[in-house]
């Protein structure tokens, strides 16, 4: 019996298998950061009966974007577009969590309101790119947030979580990885603050924990999750003691009784598999010692390696990104050990239905 294909309870929900659609930034939202019918079709295609999906990174505050075409829930006008998505998923018997994010310093003034300067925990020069009307461009050097602004962002996430209820989501995941704002606060390569949000593990984790508790106040703990990337260096991220830091974060999240903790394995840099890191998953193995709740592992998995990490007990579900992009029926293909479509990397970010909703299922490909 395949553990990957066995049922599991995620929060209050009965999930029929453990193949999860990872949150994937595809940048197909319409003007106003509003999801449209194309996005609804994309998520519906990747929904299986009893399946679990995590929506793409969704902007929680007006100044939180780093990518033209990313969807938002920072104002009420975006609710109806997301309702198209959640209705499409529910119609096929799936569950979907909203992923809320803030890009922080990973941004450019051209995707900021009124061309304002991106924000972060500290003014630290860094590389990285944002996506604007000019395509991929260098990030604009950021300014440091004030304490009042940080407190305001906590309330922005609480408000976005409430809109998620209205939009019909089944829960919320807070994106604390990939070099975005929460990650910038967590890691000391980007956080040089000397106030209550900098220095110690406790201070650097404060913003993430405050937002997590704010979202729990809306949804209840069993419908809230957090994503982190231990040892992730995407976006010029670094920390002097990553093992200690992320162990602390896991220990602080554990008593909150979350739906799950979502971990990104460091063998993936952005969306590129790091060929120098031919290794077994290490993030989940570390965190499992300190976190006994549900863990979703992500990062470079195939059917065999997913089965292996589940059987080892280091994770409970596995999120697939690139393979789920190219194979809308991925759970069935893995169940039946069918060959997978190749993915087209150039169409990952932005564009049309090409490389988005035009990948065939196994039966469609066979019939063609």
pTM of the model: 0.95
Query: What's the CATH code of the domain at 343?
Result: 3.20.20.70
- Of 101, 180, 260, 356, the catalytic one is 180
Question: Would you say residue 3 lies in a domain?
Answer: no
What tokens does 232 get?
A: 């992730």
Helix axes 79-91, 147-166, angle to 10 degrees: 50
Specify the number of domains making up the chain. 1
Q: What are phi and psi of 136, to 5 degrees?
A: -75, 120
Question: Would you say residue 36 lies in a domain?
Answer: yes
What tokens does 233 get?
A: 């260096």
Question: Would you say residue 284 lies in a domain?
Answer: yes
Q: Whole domain around residue 286: which residue ranges?
A: 8-367
- 291 in catalytic set: no
> Could you read off the pLDDT tens digit of each residue along the chain, which spans 368 residues?
799 999 999 999 999 999 999 999 999 999 999 999 999 999 999 999 999 999 999 999 999 999 999 999 999 999 999 999 999 999 999 999 999 999 999 999 999 999 999 999 999 999 889 999 999 999 999 999 999 999 999 999 999 999 999 999 999 999 999 999 999 999 999 999 999 999 999 999 999 999 999 999 999 999 999 999 997 787 889 999 999 999 999 999 999 999 999 999 876 444 444 444 455 677 888 999 999 999 999 998 999 999 999 999 999 999 999 999 999 999 999 999 999 999 999 999 999 999 999 999 999 998 87
Measured CA to CA in angstroms, residue 59 lies from 96, 119, 192 at distances of 17, 14, 25
| DSSP per-residue letters across 149-198 | HHHHHHHHHHHHHHHHHHTT-SEEEEE--TTSHHHHHHSTTT----STTS
């Amino acid at each position: 019996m395949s553990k990957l294909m066995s049922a599991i309870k995620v929060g209050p929900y009965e999930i029929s298998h453990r193949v999860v659609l990872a949150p994937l930034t595809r940048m197909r939202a319409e003007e106003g950061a509003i999801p449209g019918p194309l996005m609804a079709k994309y998520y519906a295609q990747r929904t299986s009966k009893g399946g679990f999906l995590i929506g793409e990174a969704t902007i929680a505050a007006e100044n939180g974007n780093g990518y033209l075409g990313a969807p938002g829930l920072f104002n009420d006008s975006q609710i109806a577009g997301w309702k198209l998505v959640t209705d499409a998923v529910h119609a096929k018997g799936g569950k979907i969590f909203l992923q809320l994010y803030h890009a922080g310093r990973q941004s450019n003034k051209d995707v900021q309101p009124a061309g304002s300067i991106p924000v972060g925990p500290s003014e630290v020069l860094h590389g990285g790119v944002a996506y604007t009307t000019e395509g991929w461009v260098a990030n604009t050097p950021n300014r440091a947030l004030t304490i009042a602004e940080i407190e305001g962002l906590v309330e922005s996430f609480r408000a976005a979580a409430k809109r998620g209820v209205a939009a019909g989501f089944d829960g919320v995941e807070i994106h604390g990885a990939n070099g975005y704002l929460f990650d910038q606060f967590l890691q000391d390569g980007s956080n040089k603050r000397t106030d209550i949000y900098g220095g110690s593990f406790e201070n650097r984790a404060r913003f993430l924990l405050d937002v997590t508790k704010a979202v729990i106040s809306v949804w209840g703990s069993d419908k809230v999750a957090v994503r982190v990337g231990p040892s992730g260096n995407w976006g010029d991220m670094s920390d002097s003691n990553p093992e200690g830091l992320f162990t602390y974060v896991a220990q602080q999240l554990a008593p909150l009784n979350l739906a799950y903790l979502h971990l990104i394995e460091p063998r993936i840099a952005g969306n590129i598999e790091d060929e120098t890191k031919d290794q077994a998953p290490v993030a989940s193995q570390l965190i499992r010692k300190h976190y006994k709740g549900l863990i979703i592992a992500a990062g470079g998995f195939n059917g065999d390696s997913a089965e292996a990490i589940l059987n080892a007990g280091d994770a409970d579900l596995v999120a697939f990104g690139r393979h789920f992009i190219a194979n809308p029926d991925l759970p069935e293909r893995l169940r039946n050990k069918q060959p997978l479509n190749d993915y087209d990397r150039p169409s990952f970010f932005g564009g049309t239905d090409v490389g988005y909703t035009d990948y065939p299922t196994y039966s469609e490909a066979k019939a063609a």
